[in-house]
A and B are shown apart, each in its own frame.
Chain A
Amino acid sequence: MEINDNKSIEMDELTNEKLLSGHEYDGIRELDNRLPRWWVWLFITSIVWAVVYVFVYDVFKVAPHQQEEYKNEMAAIGGGSQAQQAMAADTAGLVQLTAQANLDAGKATWNRLCIACHLAGGQGLVGPNLTDNFSIHGCGYKDIVNIITVGQPDKGMISWKAQLTRDQILDVASFVATLSGTNPPNPKAPQGDPCK
Chain B
Amino acid sequence: MENQTFYYDNKIVKYFAYATLFWGVIGMVVGLLLALQLIWPDLSFGIPYTTFGRIRPIHTNAVIFAFVGNGMFTGIYYSLQRLCKARMFSDILSQINFWGWQLIIVLAAVSFACGMTVGKEYAELEWPIDILVALIWVVFGWNMFGTIIKRRTSHLYVAIWFYIATFVTIAILHITNSIAIPVNLFKSYPVYAGVQDALVQWWYGHNAVAFFLTTPFLGLMYYYLPKAANRPIYSYRLSIVHFWALIFMYIWAGPHHLIYSALPNWAQSLGIVFSVALIAPSWGGMVNGLLTLRGAWDKVREDPVLKFMVVAVTAYGMSTFEGPMMSTKTVNAISHFTDWTVGHAHIGALGWNGFMTFAVLYWLLPRIFRTKLYSTSMANAHFWIGTIGIIFYAVPLYWGAITQFSMWKEFTQEGFLKYPNFLETVTQLKPMYMARALGGGLYIVGTVLGLYNLILTVKGGNFLAEEAASAPALVSTSHTGESKHRWLERNPVPFLIVALLAVLVGGLIEIVPLYLIKSNVPTIASVKPYTPLELQGRDIYVREGCYTCHSQQVRPFRSETERYGEYAKAGEYVYDHPFQWGSKRNGPDLSREGVVNGKQYKPNSWHYNHMENPQKLNAQSIMPSYKWLLGDKLDISTTPRKIRIMQYLGVPYPEGFDKVANQDLMNQAQGIVDDLKIQGIQTTPDREIIAVIAYLQRLGKDVHAADQTAGIAPLK
Where the two chains meet, the residues of A that have a C-beta atom closer than 8 Å to any C-beta of B are 1-3, 5, 12, 14-15, 19-20, 22-23, 25-36, 39, 42-43, 46-47, 49-51, 53-54, 57-58, 65-67, 69-70, 73-74, 77, 79-85, 112-113, 115-117, 125-126, 153-156, 158-159, 162-165, 188-189
Provide the residues of chain A in CB contact with B408, threshold 8 Å.
Answer: none
Given A28-B223, A35-B238, A46-B279, the answer on whether A81 and B416 have CB atoms closer than 8 Å is: yes
Q: Which residues from chain B contact A69 at a C-beta distance below 8 Å? A: 556
**Do B294 and A15 touch (CB < 8 A)?**
yes
Please encode chain B, from 462 to 492, with 1 for each CB lying within 8 Å of some chain A CB and 0 for all others: 0000000000000000010111001000000
B415 contacts A162, CB within 8 Å? Answer: no
Write the nearest CB–CB distance from B277 to chain A, whole angstroms.
4
Chain B, residue nearest A26 (CB): B82
Closest Cβ of chain B: how far from A7's Cβ, in Å?
10
Q: A55 to chain B: closest CB distance in Å?
A: 10
Please tell me which one of the listed residues B233, B486, B596, B602 contacts residue A28 in the complex, with CB atoms under 8 A apart.
B233
Nearest chain B CB to A196's CB is how many angstroms away? 25
With both chains docked as a complex, state the minimum distance between the C-beta of B248 and any C-beta of chain A, in angstroms: 12
Partner of B421, one of A112, A155, A156: A112
Q: Quick one: which of B575-630 are within 8 Å of A by CB?
A: 596-606, 609, 616-618
The 9 nearest A-B residue pairs measured at CB: A156-B603, A50-B273, A43-B280, A14-B295, A29-B232, A25-B157, A70-B556, A33-B235, A80-B415
Q: In chain B, residues 689-716, which have Cβ atoms closer than 8 Å to a Cβ of chain A?
A: 716
- Asked if A155 and B603 sit within 8 Å, CB to CB, the answer is yes
Q: How far is the CA of A5 from the CA of B604 in the complex (A)?
A: 76
Complex Cα distance, B83 from A35, in Å, reads 25
Q: Are the C-beta atoms of B245 and A125 separated by less than 8 Å?
A: no
Q: A28-B226, A126-B609, A163-B599 are in contact. Are A57 and B486 (CB under 8 A)?
A: no
Does B558 have its Cβ within 8 Å of any Cβ on chain A? yes
The B231-254 residues at the A interface (CB cut-off 8 A) are 231-239, 241, 245
B649 at the interface (CB under 8 A from A): no
Identity of the chain B residue whose Cβ is nearest the Cβ of A41 in the assembled complex? B280
Task: Specify which chain B residues have a CB less than 8 angstroms from the CB of A33 in the assembled complex.
Answer: 234-238
Residues of B near A81 (CB, < 8 A) are 414-417, 562
Q: Is A5's CB under 8 angstroms from B486's CB?
A: yes
Q: Which single member of A31, A43, A50, A125 contacts B232 (CB below 8 Å)?
A: A31
Of all chain B residues, the one with the shortest Cβ separation from A154 is B596
Within the complex, the shortest CB–CB distance from B481 to chain A, in Å, comes to 8
B558, A126: Cβ atoms closer than 8 Å = no
**Quick check: which of B178-186, B281-289, B650-658, B662-670 contacts chain A, the rest being far away?**
B281-289
* Chain A residues with CB under 8 A of B159: 25
**A56 and chain B: residue at smallest CB distance:** B269
Given the complex, which residues of B lie within 8 Å of A12, measured CB to CB? 232
Which residues of the partner chain B approach A70 to less than 8 Å between Cβ atoms?
A: 556-558, 561, 567
**Interface size bucket, B side?**
35 or more
Name the residue of chain A whose CB is nearest to the CB of B153.
Answer: A25
Q: B483 to A1, Cβ gap below 8 A? A: yes
Complex Cα–Cα for A23 and B486 (A): 10
**A14 x B680 contact (CB < 8 A):** no
In the assembled complex, the CB of A45 is this many whole angstroms from the nearest CB of chain B, namely 9
Q: Decide if A126 touches B679 in the complex (CB within 8 Å).
A: yes
**Nearest neighbor of B259 in chain A, beta-carbon distance:** A66
What are 7 A-B contacts with C-beta separation under 8 Å?
A3-B237, A31-B232, A43-B245, A47-B277, A54-B270, A70-B567, A159-B597
| A30 in contact with B233 given A116-B618, A126-B605 (CB within 8 Å) | yes
Taking the nearest CB of chain B, how far is it from the CB of A112, in angstroms? 5
| In the bound complex, CA of A70 to CA of B567 (Å) | 10
Is B603 touching A163 in the complex (CB atoms < 8 A)? Answer: no
User: A61 to nearest B CB, angstroms?
Assistant: 9
Compute how far the CA of A194 lies from the CA of B509 in the bound complex, rounded to whole angstroms.
Answer: 68
Residue of B nearest to A158 (CB): B601
Q: How far is the CB of B471 from chain A (nearest CB, A)?
A: 10
Query: B373: CB under 8 A from chain A?
Result: no
Within 8 A of A (CB), among B525-558: 556-558
A78's closest neighbor in chain B, by CB?
Answer: B415
Given the contacts A15-B294, A28-B223, A39-B284, A153 and B596 also touching, CB distance less than 8 Å: yes
Inter-subunit contact A19/B232 (CB<8 Å): yes
Enumerate chain B residues within 8 angstroms of A2, measured Cβ to Cβ.
Answer: 481, 483
